[in-house]
Amino acid sequence: MERKKTSSEALSGSESQEYLPEGTKEGDVRMFKANPDFLLREVAGEAVLVPVGDAGIFENSVISLNETCSFLWKLFQEPRTEEDVIAEARKEYSDPDGEMEQGIKDFIREYLKYGLLNLSQMSIVRDADPGLHIYLSVMPVKENGEMCFLTMVQI
C-alpha cells in the first residue's frame, strides 16, 4: 500500500431479546483494541512495540513495525471494527492492486493470534426509533493480574 499524497455480565443474543421492547433488534459487532501491554515508541527513527506488561512470548524483545502497521496500531488504540479500520486506511493509502482489505484482515488475525490485539464484543441494540442506538460493550481487562470483563453502556 502506498500512502496517498494529498465487571458485570451483558445479555446478548436471544437471551437479551426477551428484555427488549417490541420492535427492537440486536446485532453483534466485533471490535478490536491494541493490547495495552505494548507501547508504540520510536527508536532510532523506527516504530517499535515495547512490551510493558504481560508480554507472553515477546518478553525481553521489541517488535519492529513498518509504516502501515504503525498506522494500523495507532487506529487500534480505541476499539474499532475491521470495516472501520479498512475505511480509515482507504482514506490514507491508495490501493491500486486491491490488496488492502485482505492485508488488514491478515494483520488483525495475526495480531490477535499473538495477543497484540484484544477482541471485544459489542452488541448494538437498535430500537424501532431509528434515532435510538444503545451500545453494550464487553471488554476483557486485567485487574491486579486477573482477567475480568468490563461492561460499558453508551446511549
pLDDT of residue 123: 59
Using one digit for the tens of pLDDT, what is the confidence trace for 91-116? 999 998 889 999 999 999 999 998 89
The C-alpha atoms of residue 25 and residue 22 are separated, in whole angstroms, by 9
Calculate the CA 78 to chain-centre distance. 7
Cα dihedral 133, 136, 137, 142, rounded to 10, equals: 150
What nine digits make up the cell of 54?
504481560
Where along the chain do its domains lie? Answer: 7-154
pTM for the complete prediction? 0.64
